[in-house]
């Protein structure tokens, strides 16, 4: 079983960070280092240094690396968003980006989030409007998931061995978004579009997870023959102005981690559980919630294991 976490290259030189990471995980994923704004800061230049630091750490510690993410609508550089490119220029830029980045990490990154969050939040089951799809898009607007298909084919050309994933938020349960993704993945599999897996982010808020529905959803995707990875799990808790959660919430949080891990482990096709960071010292939840939420990860700010860590450990020891 792959147990992964998102990592930040700047923290790798911090002894407690590196020690915890190397001890408890066998997979890492760059949290931001492979997003366009970091890896492709100018049209003609790529910056692989932060990503390479993570890959080096992983290879020294015998860990696998997941890549995140070749195509997204966020954290894009202004040369791209303000470039007023035509459809054919955008297609050329995107193909070059995918082939350069996936090519650089060929043999080093075993699985890629090719596309992240392509489905809309507000219109269930509809593709989101993004620069890639329709502003002006890579020339396939109005043709459903064709632009996504094209990206998977480019990624496969760049690294035929890498497992290619579609990653999504809010599609963990049976719902209109996961229904649409299911239909897309089934179609891709039937037509031989190279897709190997689906990532469910699993950012959990309000201490609520519909585990029965999550389990049914994992079941239907793995039945299509694709793998499922839990890619970005965290369980945000309400925190006081000092960042401290209520003790009873830590217990409920542990239950949710255990239930999700158990749901994954009960499906042979669910092959990875990854958290979005591992220490509460470094988590996107604080800034994302204006510091009203936090304490979302298995280790506290001092790298002490929380009840969530023990719960995950027990679920993993119980095995499949
Ligand atoms: C977040 C990172 O954790 C932050 O450091 C960054 O400022 C914003 O993005 N879904 C995703 C991730 O797929 O890439 C996001 O990561 C969190 C939500």
pLDDT digits over 108-148, tens only?
999 999 999 999 989 989 999 999 999 899 999 999 999 99
Q: How far is the CA of 284 from the centre of ligand 1 (A)?
A: 7
pTM for the whole thing? 0.98
Closest CA to 170 of 201, 197, 148: 201
- Mean pLDDT, the chain, whole residue set: 97
Q: Name the residue at shortest CA distance from atom 5 of ligand 1.
A: 284
Per DSSP, the three-state class of 170 is coil
Residue 14: closest CA among 275, 232, 244, 281: 281
Residue bearing the CA closest to ligand 1, atom 1: 284
- Cα(31) to ligand 1 centroid in Å equals 7
Q: Indicate the burial class of 107 (C-beta count within 10 angstroms; 0-12, 13-18, 19 or more).
A: exposed
Question: Does the beta carbon of 249 sit less than 6 angstroms from any atom of ligand 1?
Answer: no
Cβ 234 under 6 angstroms from ligand 1: no
In tens, the pLDDT along 182-241 reads: 999 999 999 999 999 999 999 999 999 999 999 999 999 999 999 999 999 999 999 999
**Using a 6 Å cutoff on CB, does residue 20 contact ligand 1?**
no
Active site residues: 117, 232
Task: Give the separation between CA 302 and CA 17, rounded to whole angstroms.
Answer: 10
- CA–centroid distance, 313 to ligand 1, in Å, is 25
Ligand 1 in reach of 37 Cβ (< 6 A): no
User: How wide is the angle at C-alpha 298 spanned by C-alphas 32 and 110, nearest 5°?
Assistant: 45
């Amino acid at each position: 079983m792959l147990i992964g976490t998102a990592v930040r290259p700047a923290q790798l030189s911090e002894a407690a960070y590196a020690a915890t990471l190397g001890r408890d995980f066998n997979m890492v994923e760059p949290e931001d280092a492979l997003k366009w704004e970091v890896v492709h800061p100018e049209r003609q230049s790529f910056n692989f240094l932060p990503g390479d630091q993570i890959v080096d750490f992983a290879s020294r510690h015998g860990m696998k690396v997941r890549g995140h993410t070749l195509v997204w609508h966020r954290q894009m550089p202004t040369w791209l968003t303000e470039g007023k490119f035509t459809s054919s220029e955008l297609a050329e830029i995107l193909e070059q980006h995918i082939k350069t980045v996936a090519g650089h990490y060929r043999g080093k990154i075993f699985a890629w989030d090719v596309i992240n969050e392509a489905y809309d939040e507000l219109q269930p089951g509809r593709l989101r409007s993004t620069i890639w799809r329709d502003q002006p898009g890579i020339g396939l607007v109005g043709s459903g998931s064709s632009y996504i298909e094209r990206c998977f084919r480019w990624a496969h050309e760049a690294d035929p061995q890498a497992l290619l994933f579609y990653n999504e938020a809010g599609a963990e349960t049976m719902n209109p978004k996961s229904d649409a993704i299911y239909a897309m993945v089934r179609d891709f599999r039937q037509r031989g579009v190279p897709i190997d897996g689906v990532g469910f982010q699993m950012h959990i808020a309000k201490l609520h997870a519909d585990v029965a529905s999550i389990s049914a959803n994992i079941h239907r995707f793995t039945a299509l023959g694709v793998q499922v990875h839990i890619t970005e799990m965290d369980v945000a808790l309400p925190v006081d102005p000092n960042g401290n959660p209520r003790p009873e919430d830590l217990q409920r949080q542990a239950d949710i981690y255990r239930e999700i891990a158990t749901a994954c482990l009960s499906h042979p096709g669910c092959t990875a559980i990854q958290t979005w960071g591992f220490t509460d010292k470094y988590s996107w939840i604080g800034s994302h919630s204006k510091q009203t939420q936090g304490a979302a990860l298995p280790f506290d700010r001092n790298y002490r294991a929380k009840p969530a860590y023990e719960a995950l450990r027990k679920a993993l020891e119980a095995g499949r």
